[in-house]
Amino acid sequence: MAVATTHAVALVGSTGHVVDVQVDLSNGVIVTALVGRPDVSINEAKDRCRAAIGNTVFEAERRRWPSTKRVTILLSPADLPKRGPHFDLAIAVAVLAAADPDIPSAAMRGAAMIGELTLDGRLRCVPGVLPMAMAAAAQGLHTVYVPEPQVDEAAMVSGLQVFGVRSLGQVVALLAGEEVPEAPPVEPMSGAPLLSWRGEERLDDLDLRDVLGIPDVRYAVEVAAAGGHHLLLTGPKGSGKTTIAERIPGLLPDLSDEESLELTAVHSLCGALPPGATRITRPPFRSPHHSASRSGVLGGGTGRVRPGEVSKAHLGVLFMDEFPLFPSDVIEALREPLEAGEISISRGEDDAVYPARAMFVFACNPCRCGEYHPADPSHQCTCGERRRREYRSKISGPIADRVDITRFVEPRTGGRPLPFEVPESSAVVRARVTAARARQAARYADAPWRLNAQAPGPWLRERLPLEAAAHARLEEEVLRGKLTRRGSVRVHRVAWSVADLRGLDRPGPDELDVALRLRLQQPLLDRQLPHRQGGPAEESA
């Protein structure tokens, strides 16, 4: 009897688990048994691996499929579901190692094998190499073998020795300490779009200085960007909701090393990293169409569960234009990511949890036709009050209660700036946002969250309370029914973001007043707008 063990990695959602691939060769009925909760693609690996071994030229005669033995392949732990063709390489190497004692077990002890095999023994790229490499390193493995085009992806994990290989023959030669044979290059798994006239690159040229007027909305966006708060923009068509939403990523600082690796791993799960990709260093901007499916927005799909748009926007901005036109089940399912920063998907025996700690930005018209303006009786809306209520009711109370900041965007008449108006650029605002986030990073250094929008309410009340007068005002608003308890927590968070932008050690009554006005869609006072770009300050109630 001969036994050999290699290692692979199983992905359950965004979590990786090291799997021991054990092969036993014994006398008895000649059959290949694959056990340990494999899916269809892994069951097919028996045929792929057998053909790949048979079509690979090895010098040692023993290196062939043991056609006269009973082959038992165990994927352990047996109760963990395994999916995907990336187990091929580990299974094939384990079979060869069980048949040939010249392949040392010590070389396989701390190594993970990742890759799909073709029938002639070549390797193919697979999605999720980065989270697999992260899981392997976290669980004590020190070496990983991956398809050659994905070596840069796996090398993002520090402390891990990465071998980029082209074929099964090259892996066996490396393990046995033999000369590595030549093999044709591996075709990359390209995640780049075939048509690239529209992509995230187009956002690079967008600047906040292009947004004229609406200083209160500009400041609301700045506060939201500083604390990572969710934002709802309403207003008639053409008022600038999409224009300002697309400029929010330009206000956000670069991702930290930890955040960059975390986001890159999510995109690796989707198979969306182009060949030779490096870490994603800028916050993403995702904007799904309102006709997108539930699985496209939230995650799921047939076969392997994949992340959706809410997870691809992790640590960045998810912009949902024409928000009430999204399917109701999609809108209501956003309660979890809005509150917890993650999305759980349960489908049959599949349970996956993906990160979704994005800044949600919703935009909608006051009515379906987009012509209604509550302050202008000459509007051309023909919807009628009943249809307007039906349209607005698509955004349910629980969803609206989870949005931190709400602003009505007034349409701007004329295309020229006012004589005294000098709009600030994205770079100027980003400097203030970066400084505010640096204050939060220092404040939450020992906490598992990074931004004000993520801090739990009890923790805030206990460790970061408001000033006494501000706290009394907030409690009064709750007692008057203006805020729910959840809403009061979100106002507390926004008040801290206002204080961080102002460089204060603690929010006071004025910071709380700003947060309440941003929450309750009340106009801001001119004196509350820092860096006021205008003439004489005129306070508006």
Choose the final residue of a domain: 373, 408, 443: 408
Hey, what amino acid is at 56? T
Kindly report, residue by residue over 86-113, the tens digit of the pLDDT: 999 999 999 999 998 888 888 899 999 9
Mean pLDDT, the chain, whole residue set: 88
| Residue 404 confidence (pLDDT) | 95
Q: What is the CATH number of the domain that holds 306?
A: 3.40.50.300
- Please indicate, yes or no, whether residues 98 and 149 belong to a single structural domain of this protein: yes
Place of tokens 């020229």: 416
- Please indicate, yes or no, whether residues 7 and 134 belong to a single structural domain of this protein: yes
Question: 231-245, 303-317, 402-416 — which is least confidently predicted?
Answer: 402-416
- Please indicate, yes or no, whether residues 219 and 308 belong to a single structural domain of this protein: yes
The pLDDT confidence band at residue 493, using thresholds 50, 70 and 90, is very high
Q: Give the Å distances, CA to CA, from 88 to 30, 52, 118, 121, 258.
A: 21, 10, 9, 10, 31
The pLDDT confidence band at residue 60, using thresholds 50, 70 and 90, is confident
Query: Is residue 79 one of the residues assigned to a domain?
Result: yes
- Establish whether the linkage from the previous residue to 417 is cis, with ω within 30° of 0: no
Q: What count of residues does the chain have? A: 541
- Please indicate, yes or no, whether residues 144 and 282 belong to a single structural domain of this protein: no
Sign of the CA dihedral running 98, 101, 103, 109: positive
- Please indicate, yes or no, whether residues 363 and 291 belong to a single structural domain of this protein: yes
The pLDDT confidence band at residue 416, using thresholds 50, 70 and 90, is low
Alpha carbons 522 and 319: distance in angstroms, whole number: 23
Question: 66-70, 339-343, 412-416, 421-425 — which is least confidently predicted?
Answer: 412-416
385 membership: H or E segment, kind and range: helix 384-392
Question: Does residue 495 carry a pLDDT above 70?
Answer: yes
Kindly report, residue by residue over 281-334, the tens digit of the pLDDT: 999 999 999 999 999 999 887 767 889 999 999 999 999 999 999 999 999 999
**58 touches 16 (CB < 8 A):** no
- Please indicate, yes or no, whether residues 213 and 320 belong to a single structural domain of this protein: yes
Query: Is residue 523 one of the residues assigned to a domain?
Result: yes
Higher pLDDT, 467 or 367: 467
| Residue 374 confidence (pLDDT) | 73
Q: What is the CATH number of the domain that holds 150?
A: 3.30.230.10
* Structural domain count, the chain: 3
347 membership: H or E segment, kind and range: strand 342-347
> Whole domain around residue 454: which residue ranges?
426-528
- Please indicate, yes or no, whether residues 280 and 330 belong to a single structural domain of this protein: yes
- Please indicate, yes or no, whether residues 12 and 120 belong to a single structural domain of this protein: yes
